Structure 1
Amino acid sequence: MNINRPYFRFGFVNKRAITLSLLLQFVILVPTKQDSITAITAALLTVATAVSSTITSTTIKTATVQESKWSNAGNMNNERIDHTASVLMNGKVLVTGGCNGSLLNDAELYDPVARTWTATHSMNYARSLHTASLLPNGKVLVTGGFNITSIMNGAPTWDISRERFTMLDKMSNRKVLVDGEDNGLSSINSAELYDPLTGIWATTGSMNFARAGHTASLLPNGKVLVVGGAFVVSLQTAELYDPSTGIWANASSLNHPRLCHKTILLKNGKVLVTGGYFDVSVHTCELYDPSTDTWNNTVMLHYARIYHSVVGLPNGKALITGGQALESLNISELYDPTTEMWTYTSHMNNARAWHTASLLTDGKVLVTGGFSDNFYIKLNSSELYDPLTEMWTTTDSMNNARAGHTASVLTNGNVLVTGGYGEDQSYPASTELYLLSTKTLTTIDQMENVENDRKESVLTNEKVSVNRGHNNAISNTSNESRV
């Protein structure tokens, strides 16, 4: 019998018909005499049986409890910062480039099933602070980034594999020391495609402007919008990549040049650009409309910020967290695309910049790590934002403090964190997983009642109302189990 449909059932006791009906999600037993009514709510299953003159009703209630913890996910083949991590359509994670005292062109893959790291083919160019975008065809587009130019005998060289260097001032002018000689990092305009089927990189059309520290957003039409970044100075330009042709076309320019900003694709198809800096960090935000190729200013942030994070919520709003102004921030704000207004939401428990923010499968936002009040103290703390209550709660801390790392939500709902700045200015190769597990709590309630020779049986997954007979003695037992 299909218990999801209303039905009628008849039985005969003492030559009287007793009608059992399930209509509008209620079960009503009609006895010879009605003395009381008891309502039972079952979360999953309610079973009522009658043997001879006793009715036993068993209610099974279940509740799911989500638990989380951090677990080591092994070491990458190379320690790295300023890299990218992309979840491929096959569920694996592609990590590319970055630096660790040397600019990197290598790439590696994480297998969530085997929990192993394996090297794949290297990119054609070493790069850090570049972007990586998963295209609809399953390939990954990598754009721009910093490379190194050192002048030797009047000719530039790009042989990064033999150039060892130490960062002197990563946060400002990005000068580096190579073989005792002062050199500069230079933005590049090259782009390349990774094919997961072959594991091979192929060059594609170059951008019109060299840039690093920029952003890339996949648009609903399949094109990729690249915004801002640095080439000597912060850029005001934007470009569009067409995967069908491999060609870049200039988009209209932003109203403000930006570096170390954040962008997000809204549900209305527009792209929101937030913060960043050119001479000073900015409050300004802009909206790009792909249908008209136009930029329009929208309401400014309450706090100017760089090195922040922004994530889209299921309700269509955008949550911006932390970042740095004069100091690291714990302030969060919500952007509503329908009103184009920013409103405060509750503050994080820790001020943090250069952290990550990830939308989990349950709709909450996980924030991890980052720099604290200055760029010397790294955090291992994590916290969760609940859009329904607009409240932050702390969750388990990572095993390692890190900033400038990546966080990727895997197809199984777990979150993979890789690399970043570690303690003592180190570049950790370590990775970890934020594991989401669900436990089921089951409560069983049993009720017995003496009736007048009733023999009926009901099975339903909804609410049950039982009209009792002459004897109203009720016995309840409750058992809790963890599955």
Structure 2
Amino acid sequence: MAPRFVRSTLLAAALVGLTPACGEKEVRPPLDLLTAACAGTQPLAGVTHLRFRVTGPGLDTPRERVSTVNWTRADVPAVPPGPERVLEVRAYVGAPDQGGRLVSLGRSMPFPVWPEGDGEDEQAVRARVLLRRIGEFVPVNLASDPSVCSLPLEARAAHTATTLPDGRVLIVGGYAPRADGTRPVSATTEVFNPRNGTFVPGRDVGARAFHTASLLPDGRVFLAGGAESFAPLALQPTSRLLDPTTDAVSELTLAAARYQHAAAVDAAGHVLLVSGRAADGGTVDTVEGFDPAAGRSVQYAFPFAYVDAALTVEQSGKIFQVVGGGDAVGARRDVVPFVFGDDDIIQLGAEADLRVPRVGATVALLGRADESPRPLVIGGFDGLDPAQGARPVGASEFLEGVVRTSDGPALMPRSNPCAVTLPDGRVVVLGGRGTALGSTYAVPWVELITPHAGAQPTVLGLPLMPQPRVWHTCSALPDGSVLVVGGVDDSTGELRSNPEALVVMPPPRD
């Protein structure tokens, strides 16, 4: 699910350039418009005009002004009082009202504007908008010097990246593929700050790769399981509960050690862990949960042995749904619902069947909160082993509650893609694994899925990633762009790491 970004104090009480409107004071914010990139096409290349837009709750129509590329502060619209205001800049080749082509886009972090006298008496802060070329994958750049690329502290694959409530991204663990065939596992964390484009180190949390990271409603992150080494294979038996604001960490021993499993969080903050592999290569058949209020783990009383299943939470926020996976018989169609009881985990009687069996699928929520968002099941293999004829699935499907599914849009066929929901409700799907002659390989495909009321979603193919990737992460940033970190590329038969972090700005929804 898409993160809910907390309100920034970016322009609280920045009461400058005031103009009257409906008896209240408005703000014309000072603007730092960053127009350089460290690689790729420069955001202002060929640009002749800019459109400044202000959006936010209660503004049915955006406040807009158009200027030439040689803008002044007077061209920025006045911002009316209210929460979560966003200042957006769109760059065009040609006048936008005369068929000009939109080529670059940038948005500020959300900020509140208080009515006169309601805000704290703080020094005004300048609004910052980093302009990005639409649809182009480029390295992250520093806000302090946009001509300089910003690199993660480590090369990582099979790591996790969690978007925090303040818009930062917590990156944890993973392994680094090396030329000698070794895969050392990392115990480190780092935090990407989209305000300034920096990666800063965090505290160690124990070596882990192919683990899960679950954001709790209170802002803490629950890290569970993973492999702590590959030669020999040894699993991480503990979970860690990390508070990114204080770096405080507490530890909990899990009932079952596992990696390559799935995790999800319900509205109450319960975390469910399902599927996964054991150290002996078998399937972990223990369904386990974490109750943050009690600070303890709870278990489902019966074996449940599906491997490479996906996990999501039904629209009510209370019911977990285990999607697909495989067992000794083969790929499964089941969508199995679980809920937390008072001191245990309960499997519900009603369940849906997928239209296509899937192993290694991904689930993302399509739609904004006001659009009745639905879980969309994406990709996977239709069998257990591509070497034995299992094929990647291109058809997607919606989970309609807990009892049925419906057809979704056709996508590129692949397994283990990374899918992320943008703040505007659209979903971006990146990379994953395809097949050729029974072997699998990383793919560079990128698709943007847009929901439509009463109609099937539309799919737009975006430019390919510069390198194919699998076991990477993709994270929605507050400005509507997507951060892609790490992963591996085995498409040429040689395993290569992706040490850089890329960012891409999708075209706007409106």
In the TM superposition, what is the alpha-carbon distance from 1:318 to its structure 2 partner? 0.9
In the TM superposition, what is the alpha-carbon distance from 1:111 to its structure 2 partner? 9.6
Which residue pairs with 2:493 in the alignment?
A: none
**Which has the larger strand fraction?**
1
Task: Map 1:108-257 to 2 at 5 A.
Answer: 114-120=134-140, 121-148=150-177, 163=179, 178=180, 183-207=181-205, 209-231=206-228, 232-247=233-248, 249-257=249-257
1:374 aligns with 2:375: no
Letter in 2 for 1:426: Y
Task: Map 1:65-144 to 2 at 5 A.
Answer: 114-120=134-140, 121-144=150-173
CA distance in structure 1 between the partners assigned to 2:223 and 2:210 by the alignment: 11
In the TM superposition, what is the alpha-carbon distance from 1:401 to its structure 2 partner? 1.2
**SS of match in other structure, 2:442:** coil
Which residue pairs with 1:396 in the alignment?
A: 409
Task: Map 1:11-22 to 2 at 5 A.
Answer: none
Which residue pairs with 1:423 in the alignment?
A: 435
CA distance in structure 2 between the partners assigned to 1:335 and 1:266 by the alignment: 11
CA distance in structure 2 between the partners assigned to 1:89 and 1:310 by the alignment: 33
Letter in 2 for 1:277: R
Which residue pairs with 1:276 in the alignment?
A: 276
In the TM superposition, what is the alpha-carbon distance from 1:338 to its structure 2 partner? 4.3
Letter in 2 for 1:368: I
Cα 1:112–1:423 shift into 2, 3 Å: farther
In the TM superposition, what is the alpha-carbon distance from 1:112 to its structure 2 partner? 10
Cα 1:416–1:342 shift into 2, 3 Å: same
**SS of match in other structure, 2:263:** strand
1:413 aligns with 2:413: no
Q: Is the 8 A contact 1:89 1:138 kept in 2?
A: no
Which residue pairs with 1:308 in the alignment?
A: 309
In the TM superposition, what is the alpha-carbon distance from 1:197 to its structure 2 partner? 0.9
- The equivalent position to 1:330 in structure 2, one of 333, 338, 346, is 333
Q: Is the 8 A contact 1:313 1:359 kept in 2?
A: no
Letter in 2 for 1:223: R
Cα 1:142–1:194 shift into 2, 3 Å: same
CA distance in structure 2 between the partners assigned to 1:111 and 1:146 by the alignment: 33
Q: Is the 8 A contact 1:313 1:363 kept in 2?
A: no
In the TM superposition, what is the alpha-carbon distance from 1:275 to its structure 2 partner? 2.2
Cα 1:111–1:342 shift into 2, 3 Å: farther
Letter in 1 for 2:400: D
Letter in 1 for 2:253: S
CA distance in structure 2 between the partners assigned to 1:412 and 1:294 by the alignment: 35
CA distance in structure 2 between the partners assigned to 1:256 and 1:147 by the alignment: 25
CA distance in structure 1 between the partners assigned to 2:286 and 2:294 by the alignment: 21
In the TM superposition, what is the alpha-carbon distance from 1:215 to its structure 2 partner? 0.5
CA distance in structure 1 between the partners assigned to 2:454 and 2:250 by the alignment: 51
Letter in 2 for 1:342: Q
Q: Is the 8 A contact 1:237 1:254 kept in 2?
A: yes
- What does the per-residue CA deviation read over 1:180-220, in whole Å, with 9 as the maximum and x for residues that have no partner? xxx3312110110101011111111111x201011111123
CA distance in structure 2 between the partners assigned to 1:137 and 1:223 by the alignment: 12
Letter in 2 for 1:236: P
CA distance in structure 1 between the partners assigned to 2:415 and 2:151 by the alignment: 25
Q: Is the 8 A contact 2:378 2:397 kept in 1?
A: yes
RMSD (Å) for aligned C-alpha atoms: 2.6
Q: Is the 8 A contact 2:321 2:338 kept in 1?
A: yes
Which residue pairs with 1:174 in the alignment?
A: none
**SS of match in other structure, 2:201:** strand
Q: Is the 8 A contact 2:203 2:247 kept in 1?
A: yes
CA distance in structure 2 between the partners assigned to 1:397 and 1:134 by the alignment: 28
Cα 1:299–1:433 shift into 2, 3 Å: farther
Q: Is the 8 A contact 2:270 2:340 kept in 1?
A: no
Cα 1:336–1:275 shift into 2, 3 Å: same
Cα 1:365–1:187 shift into 2, 3 Å: same
Q: TM-score, normalised by structure 2?
A: 0.55
CA distance in structure 2 between the partners assigned to 1:274 and 1:90 by the alignment: 35
Q: Is the 8 A contact 2:331 2:357 kept in 1?
A: yes
**SS of match in other structure, 1:240:** strand
In the TM superposition, what is the alpha-carbon distance from 1:438 to its structure 2 partner? 3.1
Which residue pairs with 2:353 in the alignment?
A: 347
Larger deviation, residues 348-357 vs 237-246: 237-246
Letter in 2 for 1:387: G
CA distance in structure 2 between the partners assigned to 1:309 and 1:118 by the alignment: 30
Number of aligned residue pairs = 299
- What does the per-residue CA deviation read over 1:32-83, in whole Å, with 9 as the maximum and x for residues that have no partner? xxxxxxxxxxxxxxxxxxxxxxxxxxxxxxxxxxxxxxxxxxxxxxxxxxxx
CA distance in structure 1 between the partners assigned to 2:433 and 2:108 by the alignment: 28
CA distance in structure 2 between the partners assigned to 1:345 and 1:113 by the alignment: 44
- What does the per-residue CA deviation read over 1:277-332, in whole Å, with 9 as the maximum and x for residues that have no partner? 2132133212212233211213446x411211111112211111011223221111
In the TM superposition, what is the alpha-carbon distance from 1:385 to its structure 2 partner? 1.5
Cα 1:89–1:379 shift into 2, 3 Å: farther
CA distance in structure 2 between the partners assigned to 1:356 and 1:436 by the alignment: 18
Task: Map 1:465-476 to 2 at 5 A.
Answer: none
Letter in 1 for 2:257: P
**SS of match in other structure, 1:186:** coil
Larger deviation, residues 134-143 vs 275-284: 275-284
1:357 aligns with 2:339: no
After TM superposition, which residue ranges in structure 1, 4 or more long, deviate above 4 angstroms? 88-91, 110-113
Q: Is the 8 A contact 1:111 1:117 kept in 2?
A: no
CA distance in structure 1 between the partners assigned to 2:258 and 2:221 by the alignment: 18
Higher RCO (C-alpha under 8 Å, 6+ residues apart): 1
1:434 aligns with 2:449: yes
Letter in 1 for 2:338: Y
In the TM superposition, what is the alpha-carbon distance from 1:423 to its structure 2 partner? 3.4
Cα 1:112–1:407 shift into 2, 3 Å: farther
> % of aligned pairs identical?
24
Letter in 2 for 1:119: P
Larger Rg: 1
Which residue pairs with 1:384 in the alignment?
A: 398
In the TM superposition, what is the alpha-carbon distance from 1:335 to its structure 2 partner? 1.0
Letter in 1 for 2:215: L
Q: Is the 8 A contact 2:365 2:427 kept in 1?
A: no
